[in-house]
Structure 1
């Protein structure tokens, strides 16, 4: 049985327009994150399911820019995001829109950004698929299989930890409770 943590620190990362701000709002159960894009990290707090939650949203990167092509400020903010919740995040949620094709180009871009951080970031990373409603009747497992080796590579790097979120259905608090439990399981595996 996984230990229930009273304090959770979460960092949201991903390229622009994946639903990071909406995810932060869904996790906290209120409109804390502005849906406009921004160049700096944003930190918000809330009480959710008997836990004090700190959520840091790192600025999104352009999906067609490698880390080398990105502005230095963006790289610094991504590095800063994990230090804004000392002693470090319990989980890094890597936000991916479920309907986005995840191929070699996306994998290389994403790997470049996560490589800015320490190698152990992978053991704290959970892939969070947003826009879960667009799956319709397809299971997430079938979707992952249909996407091929690049998405499977990412999930393998993350210890096969993933979660599907429907930001349109904020009244369904079971999806957030399940996510928080997955984060706590991740913490337990890393201890």
Structure 2
């Protein structure tokens, strides 16, 4: 168990940025996480407008806006079920998560891994997150921040107290993300400081990464795109065949009807 004091110390004493300061006028973000983890509402809070619809996302959605002197691009991705392994996530969802990178070229500055503060984080959920993050590669962790959503549910409890009380699984995740985390109150859009603070944390992380953003492996991206095109071609061929079958069926029915009328004369 990590104490609250050690968590706060780890957060404050993150490695000194290799660059003194990075201001990102055009910031690119990707939202990742479980289904119903608050990805869409967090995106709306960051952009200060209702632009993401809080419902099941089957394809990636990109939205943009001006935030605190920066042009921000956010890509929302399909979520996965909390405690299910990556093998049980539909292939199309996994492809969408990978293809999200191509919607914010040349790559995202940050991946915001969303967790609700009012839901537990178990060993099964830890395994699920780890497997889904491995859809990318190990480098992705250096560009990830844990974003706790529904911050209003914390009440008088601090996020450090939450992390300590949740135990090893959540502590492992926070450490894996370099002790980077942020709480967002989705119900309080009037508090612009919480978004400003998040943007500053992102810029500090990018400075620690020598100004680099996350770049997906181009070979992987090419393979996913080729696979997606092959699926689309098969779907189109199937749809064309079904239309032809319906047309033939309709023609046959018409001939039978004419023949029936002829026989009754």
Q: Tell me, yes or no, whether TM beats 0.5.
A: yes
Q: Corresponding residue for 2:97? A: 78
Residue number in structure 1 paired with 2:129: 110
Aligned to 1:23: 42
Q: Does 1:12 align with 2:31?
A: yes
Answer yes or no: is 1:157 the counterpart of 2:170: no
Greater strand content: 1
Q: CA deviation at 1:141?
A: 0.6
Higher helix proportion (structure 1 or 2): 2
1:87 matched to 2:106: yes
TM-score w.r.t. length of structure 1 = 0.97
Number of positions where the alignment pairs a residue of Structure 1 with one of Structure 2 = 191
Q: How far does the alpha carbon of each residue in 1:19-50 deviate from its partner, in whole angstroms, 9 at most, with x for none?
A: 11101111111111111212000001101101
- Mark the structure with the bigger radius of gyration: 2
The answer to which of 32-41 and 160-169 deviates more is 32-41
Q: Offset at 1:149?
A: 0.6
2:162 counterpart residue number? 143
Q: Secondary structure at the match of 1:102?
A: coil
1:39-78 alignment runs, 5 A limit: 39-78=58-97
Q: Cα RMSD over matched residues?
A: 0.9
Question: What CA deviation, in whole Å up to 9, does each residue of 1:77-123 have, x standing for no partner?
Answer: 11111221111110000000011111100000011100001211100
Task: Give the Cα separation in 1 of the matches to 2:174 and 2:83.
Answer: 21
Show CA shifts across 1:50-90 (max 9, x none): 10000000111111321001110011011111221111110
Q: Write out the 4+ residue segments of structure 1 that deviate beyond 2 Å after TM superposition.
A: none
Structure 2, unmatched stretches of 5+, are 1-19, 211-265
Counterpart in the other structure of 2:21: 2
In structure 1, the partner of 2:234 is: none
SS at structure 2 position matched to 1:27: helix
Aligned to 1:180: 199
Deviation at 1:2, TM superposition (A): 2.6
